[in-house]
């Protein structure tokens, strides 16, 4: 039970800062307090936010259930997580966050939030390549190396690779 509380607490705090307060600050700096009206961009944006949030939540739950840890670098999974959304791509939590932020940018019609999203995804990529992947390789060894051969970092494989 404690692992679930830790995972949800860390995820909630991180989400609040990076995906609520920071975008709200960006919107405030751009003078945007809400969408001018509700139209197709707002509907698509809201759908992307929901898809992204659901993806990120599934990742947090997979970390707790299968990895016995959390998404926080200071309390990582004890086992390599290759199930759930991690069967499809190695970084679904970052992709979910990207979808949610692109959705927010569409909902509010904000180029500033879109730029924030680009910056955050670029920073995430650098973090993944420079810290996360080497750490996973050291921690899980051949299991992680084999996983990287089967599952791509960002784009799912369209075929199983078997003939």
Please check whether residue 95 is in contact with residue 32, taking contact to mean a CB–CB distance below 8 angstroms: no
Q: What is the pLDDT of residue 104?
A: 93
Please provide residue 30's backbone torsions phi and psi, each rounded to the nearest 5 degrees: -85, 0
As for how many domains the chain has, the answer is 1
- Does residue 73 lie within any of the structural domains? yes
Q: What is the pLDDT of residue 163?
A: 40
Q: Please list the alpha-helical segments (H only) found in 16-132.
A: 22-29, 40-67, 92-108, 111-127
Most distant CA pair in the chain: distance in Å?
Answer: 55
- Does residue 144 lie within any of the structural domains? yes
- Does residue 123 lie within any of the structural domains? yes
Tell how far CA 1 is from the center of its chain.
23
Q: What is the pLDDT of residue 147?
A: 97
Alpha carbon distance 94, 78 (integer Å): 20
Q: What is the pLDDT of residue 130?
A: 97
Q: Which domain holds residue 81?
A: 2-31+39-150
- Does residue 155 lie within any of the structural domains? no
Q: What is the pLDDT of residue 52?
A: 92
Phi-psi region of 122 (alpha: psi -120 to 50; beta: other; left: phi over 0): alpha
Alpha carbon distance 145, 132 (integer Å): 13
pTM: 0.84
Per-block mean pLDDT, blocks of 10 residues, the chain (163 long): 74 77 85 84 94 91 88 86 94 93 93 94 96 95 96 83 48
Please check whether residue 107 is in contact with residue 43, taking contact to mean a CB–CB distance below 8 angstroms: no
Alpha carbon distance 44, 51 (integer Å): 10
Nearest in space to 59 (alpha carbons), one of 132, 7, 135: 7
- Does residue 162 lie within any of the structural domains? no
Please check whether residue 62 is in contact with residue 83, taking contact to mean a CB–CB distance below 8 angstroms: yes
- Does residue 142 lie within any of the structural domains? yes
Q: What is the pLDDT of residue 128?
A: 95
Q: What is the pLDDT of residue 160?
A: 57
Q: What is the pLDDT of residue 9?
A: 80
Please check whether residue 59 is in contact with residue 85, taking contact to mean a CB–CB distance below 8 angstroms: yes
- Secondary structure class of 79 (helix, strand, coil): coil
């Amino acid at each position: 039970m404690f692992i679930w509380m830790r995972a949800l607490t860390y995820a909630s705090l991180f989400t609040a800062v990076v995906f609520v307060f920071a975008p709200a600050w960006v919107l405030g700096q751009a003078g945007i307090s809400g969408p001018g009206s509700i139209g197709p961009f707002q509907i698509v944006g809201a759908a992307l936010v929901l898809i992204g949030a659901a993806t990120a939540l599934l990742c947090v739950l997979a970390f707790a259930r299968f990895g016995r840890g959390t998404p926080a670098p200071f309390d990582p999974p004890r086992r390599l997580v290759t199930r759930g959304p991690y069967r499809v791509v190695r970084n679904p939590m970052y992709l979910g966050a990207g979808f949610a932020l692109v959705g927010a940018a569409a909902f509010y019609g904000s180029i500033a939030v879109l730029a924030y999203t680009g910056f955050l995804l670029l920073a995430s990529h650098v973090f993944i390549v420079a810290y996360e992947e080497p750490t996973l390789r050291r921690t899980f060894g051949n299991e992680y190396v084999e996983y990287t051969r089967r599952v791509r970092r960002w784009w799912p494989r369209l075929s199983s690779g078997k003939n």
